[in-house]
Amino acid sequence: MDLQGKRIAVLGAGSSGYAAAALAVSRGAFVEAYDNGSEEKLAPAVAKFSGLGVPLICGDEAISPAGSFDLAVISPGIDTAWPIARVFAAASSELIGEIEFADRLSDVPVIAITGTNGKTTTTALIAAMLNACGIRAIAAGNIGLAYSEVISSGVSYDWVVLEVSSFQLETIADFAPEIAIWTNFAPDHMDRYATLADYYAAKYRLFENLTASSLVIHKLECDLGALPGEIVTFSAFADGGRFRYGQGSIHDQESGAVFPFSEGTLQGKHNAENVMAALAVASHLGLPREAVQSAVNSFEAPPHRCEKVAAIDGVLYLNDSKSTNLHSLESALMGQETPVVLIVGGKNKGLDFSELREVAGRTTRVAVCIGEIAQHIATAWDGAVSCRLATDVPAAVQLASELARSGDVVLFSPGTSSFDMFSGYEARGLAFREAVTALVAG
């Protein structure tokens, strides 16, 4: 795509918008950025864009552009139904997302990962595995660097491993990764989508430009219909699929290879599925088994995603603060192979925890409920799980430690957002870590 002398509008003043603007400028385009946030709020962004020689138009002026554009690049945080998106769609020859934009300016092959949960761990794991095997790769997209920043960096890579969200996939056109991975699917982001079908359709766009040479890797239980290319399936919970799980190991039904998952740092059968997706990539690329196994065994889960914090008196403490919806909580519970003392709860955002009553009853010996939704959870699970209430995370950790027995897992997997008590799941996870560390010190 030749951008020399083209007039480009970038919508959104966040990291994706800035990266797209910088990339466009580096390719000789005339760039203007637009964000209808207030000028006062966006003052730091105005200064940052100015450093690129790019004006950032804010507030009401942002939805009244002067003239037309050759291209508009929209950031994933902007809904295409919003006025600013509609205005620039009309004022531009084409409106595309930052993922599509960067991809048009790159000739590096892509592994793209989507799904409701597990995307970040799988993306980071695959990138780490490739690098351990001497293949230059970087994790980007919805994780770490924006795709545009990777392209404009000038660093040479053999593969780009992209985490792609439904928001990013809404605005692709020709994006066609060489390898497409679907980790799972469950309801989420219903504040953005009118129906569950709309959310599914956005994610499913990952496959719309694939060809017979593409590789599709997906969870066995997800029926994705007829897709082009080679199909590889996996599951840690169901019989069938090429990659299966049993007795702490992952079994490749095609090659007969057995990978000792339990030797690694990742915990839980849901993480075994993330490893299965990585192993499918490794098999497809012919990576050396010893290097792959070493990379998988030494890989540390991203913070707050079933992260091992400590083992105290035979009890394992796992930080899964990233669990902000029912599906992620369900996955974390079903992934454990020993009795669970669960710390659960947070902001009441209208989730119906009775949907997990049966799963919690099978996996959880006792639940310590916190936050706005604590009593709702205790009521929903009454008779299935013994529930106790705690006032905050430190109190919950202390109570869980008193209730746990040797061989148990204390699992901090809230299943909802953190904004009743914290600025985000990161701060919530840090509070859990600090409380567990206090147990060790005590």
C-alpha span between 168 and 113 (Å, rounded) = 12
Residue 359 binned pLDDT confidence (cut-offs 50, 70, 90): very high
pLDDT at 300: 86
Given this model, what pLDDT does residue 441 score? 81
pLDDT for res 12: 97
Strands 110-114 and 179-182: parallel
Q: Is 7 helix (H, G, I), strand (E, B) or coil?
A: strand
Find the mean pLDDT for residues 102-129.
Answer: 96
Task: Let me know: does 117 contact 327? Beta carbons within 8 Å.
Answer: yes
Q: Say yes or no: 111 and 59 in one domain.
A: no
Q: Token pair of 245, please? A: 């799980």
Whether residue 157 is found in the same domain as residue 239: yes
Long-range pairs, 225-231, Cβ under 8 A, ≥24: 230/284
| Average pLDDT over the chain, rounded to an integer | 95
pLDDT at 190 over 80: no
Q: Can you give the pLDDT at residue 97?
A: 98
- Tokens of residue 187, six digits: 């309801």
Task: Tell me the H-state helices in 369-424.
Answer: 374-380, 393-403
Q: Average pLDDT of 163-188? A: 95
The Cα 335–Cα 258 span in angstroms is 19
Range of the domain at 221: 106-298
**Do 269 and 158 fall into the same domain?**
yes
* Single pTM value for the model: 0.86
The pLDDT, as a whole number, for residue 356 is 97
On the question of pLDDT at 442 being above 80, the answer is no
pLDDT band for 172, please (50, 70, 90 cuts).
very high
86 and 199 belong to one structural domain: no
pLDDT value, residue 350: 86
Question: Which amino acid type is present at position 236?
Answer: A
Q: Are residues 170 and 227 in the same domain?
A: yes
* Beta-strand relationship, 95-97 and 364-369: unpaired
Let me know whether 111 and 259 are in one domain. yes
With bands split at pLDDT 50, 70 and 90, how would you rate the model's confidence at 392? very high
- Looking at the structure, do residues 242 and 167 belong to the same domain, yes or no? yes
Q: In terms of pLDDT, which residue wins out, 235 or 190?
A: 235
Which CATH number goes with the domain that contains 329?
Answer: 3.90.190.20
Flag whether 212 is in a domain.
yes
| Higher-scoring residue by pLDDT: 231, 300 | 231
| Per-residue pLDDT, 265 | 85
Tokens representing residue 134 in the block? 């001497």
The pLDDT, as a whole number, for residue 144 is 83
Residue-wise pLDDT tens digits, 406-430: 999 999 999 999 999 999 999 999 9
Q: Are 97 and 171 in contact (CB under 8 A)?
A: yes
Let me know whether 292 and 319 are in one domain: no
Integer angstrom CA distances of residue 282 from 232, 252, 275, 351: 12, 12, 10, 38
Q: How confident is the model at residue 263 (pLDDT cuts 50, 70, 90)?
A: confident
Average pLDDT estimate for 92-119: 97
**CATH number of domain containing 221:** 3.40.1190.10
pLDDT of residue 187: 79
What average pLDDT score do residues 32-51 get? 96
**pLDDT by residue (tens digit) across 310-345?**
999 999 999 999 999 898 999 999 999 899 999 999
Taking the CB of residue 81, how many other CB atoms lie within 10 A of it?
Answer: 9
